[in-house]
Amino acid sequence: MGCGKTLTAISVMGTGYMIGKLKKVLIVAPTSVVAVWPKEFADYADFPYTVRTLLGDKAHRIKALDDLEAYPFGALKVAVINYEAVWREEVFDRLRAYDADLIVADESQRIKSHDAKQSRAMHLLGDQARYKLILSGTPVQNNAMDIWSQYRFLDPAIFGNNFYAFRNRYAIMGGFNQHQVIGYKELDGLIRKEHSIAYRVSKAEALDLPEQSFENRYVALSPKERNIYDRLRRDSVAELEDGGKITATTVLTKLLRLQQFTGGFLVEDDAAKPQLVSRGKLDALEDILQDYVLNERKKLVIFARFLPEVHEIEALCKRLLGKEGLSVVTIYGEIKKEDRGTIIQQFQTDPETMVFVGQIDTAGTGITLTAADTCVYYSVNFNYATYSQSLSRIHRIGQHHPCTYIHLVAEKTIDETVLEALTKKEDLAKTIVDNWQRFF
């Protein structure tokens, strides 16, 4: 993870296009990663391309693909869709008709189950494509059988078309009715075959990898959510323009309400508490928890600004991690200071405590969380000093690995503007009065 799989894939696509081997590409990725691909193309692609994300309901997905095929200029055509949609009625048939030259399975461990509908759909699409590429930092979690489905898509010649023949060759079965994998055999041969068409790089080998790397995971608002967000934004601007003197407090209050909404919560004027109205960021976070914590068994730090967010994140972690006998710890304003040391110590030393969730104003300073080298920002504070301090919770003495920071960003919202300001080391409370319009 973090060693440049996306950049490498774009380079492969560009080379294939320039030598006349590729005209159409299909990228299949986790939902939270779909919106990242167009931005990666914009940053890295030095060749003609046009890209469409196939999101929304069935009609919107098919229309986006039709628009892509109708693109009249010479360029590599790239469609990006999430795994859960690939096998859906009509969408699958339309993807087959698209007939991609290259199919990329991003985070290919998502098709590790040989009999899942999305795995079977990918196998059929792969059989039709001329070229295939899988990308994963964790192709195998705890079960070597995970590799078969991914390679069935990639090249059936490596491990064959029959999962049970593969399992009989490499697995020792036992347990109830001999249905449980209790050991392995001929693993050297399996590994040789796996690596015959694979290229692997670890962070330890990537000597030029920076100490800190930053990644944005973009979350698209649904049409309904976009309408609500735009209404909140327009109302805020109207109130500020009609309210006489502009102060930092009044502007920040309006921005805070917009930011709460991008995190999934709507605060109505007469409501007793915020209501959860969107799970976009929570779903994106679930993808990260699956990949980093459950698949790779890496510890994770998650920061959020608002207390309702913290509680929803904690509930999500308990639901996912509890199934694996793992746990989460949380610190927010109401947690007694005398109890916080024990909570931090548990995260730092207990191998079963995999996730730390912190309210950024409370847990963003003065503590050490070096048991993790990856930190997710569900939402951020407007204060650069607080944000900067929070970066150092995992990047400090005692950390022996490069650190990765993942920001969850709702597209075309206050999230993008605030993150840009923090990147420029701006303290919004000090700069916002004179330029408040740019944040809306």
Q: Does residue 241 register a pLDDT over 90?
A: no
Query: Which amino acid is it at 98?
Result: Y
Residue 318, CA distances (Å) to 104, 310, 312, 335 in order: 32, 12, 10, 18
Start-end of H helices in 129-162: 146-154, 156-159
Q: Which residue has the tokens 């710890």?
A: 329
User: What residue ranges define each of the domains in the chain, with the CATH number in brackets?
Assistant: 5-195 (3.40.50.10810), 212-218+278-439 (3.40.50.300)
Rounded to an integer, the average pLDDT of 238-251 is 78
Q: Does residue 424 register a pLDDT over 90?
A: no
Start-end of H helices in 143-198: 146-154, 156-159, 163-170, 187-195
pLDDT, one tens digit per residue, over 159-189 is 999 999 999 999 999 888 888 888 999 999 9
Q: Does residue 267 register a pLDDT over 90?
A: no
- CA neighbours closer than 13 Å in the CB half-sphere of residue 225: 23
Chain-wide mean pLDDT for the chain? 90
Dihedral sign, CA of 422, 424, 425, 430?
negative
pLDDT, one tens digit per residue, over 33-50 is 888 899 889 989 999 999
Residue 400, CA distances (Å) to 187, 204, 386, 394 in order: 31, 11, 24, 10
Query: Which amino acid is it at 323?
Result: K
In terms of Cα–Cα distance, which of 193, 206, 210 is closest to 152? 193
Rounded to an integer, the average pLDDT of 54-68 is 94
pLDDT value of residue 203 = 66
pLDDT, one tens digit per residue, over 90-123 is 999 999 999 999 999 998 989 999 999 999 999 9
**In this structure, what DSSP letter does residue 379 have?**
S
pLDDT value of residue 236 = 87
Q: CA 316 to CA 287: how far, in whole Å?
A: 11
What percentage of the chain has pLDDT greater than the value 70?
Answer: 96
Q: Does residue 250 register a pLDDT over 70?
A: yes
Start-end of H helices in 219-279: 223-242, 248-262
Quote the pTM value. Answer: 0.76
Contact 95, 83 (CB under 8 A): no
Query: Which amino acid is it at 324?
Result: E
Q: CA 366 to CA 343: how far, in whole Å?
A: 14
Q: Does residue 210 register a pLDDT over 80?
A: no
Q: How confident is the model at residue 204 (pLDDT cuts 50, 70, 90)?
A: low
Rounded to an integer, the average pLDDT of 334-344 is 88
Long-range contacts of 336-340 (CB under 8 A, 24+ apart): 340/367
In terms of Cα–Cα distance, which of 277, 285, 276 is closest to 226? 277
Q: How confident is the model at residue 209 (pLDDT cuts 50, 70, 90)?
A: low
Rounded to an integer, the average pLDDT of 293-302 is 94
Contact 61, 53 (CB under 8 A): no
pLDDT value of residue 162 = 96
Rounded to an integer, the average pLDDT of 342-360 is 95
pLDDT, one tens digit per residue, over 303-329 is 999 999 999 999 999 999 999 999 999
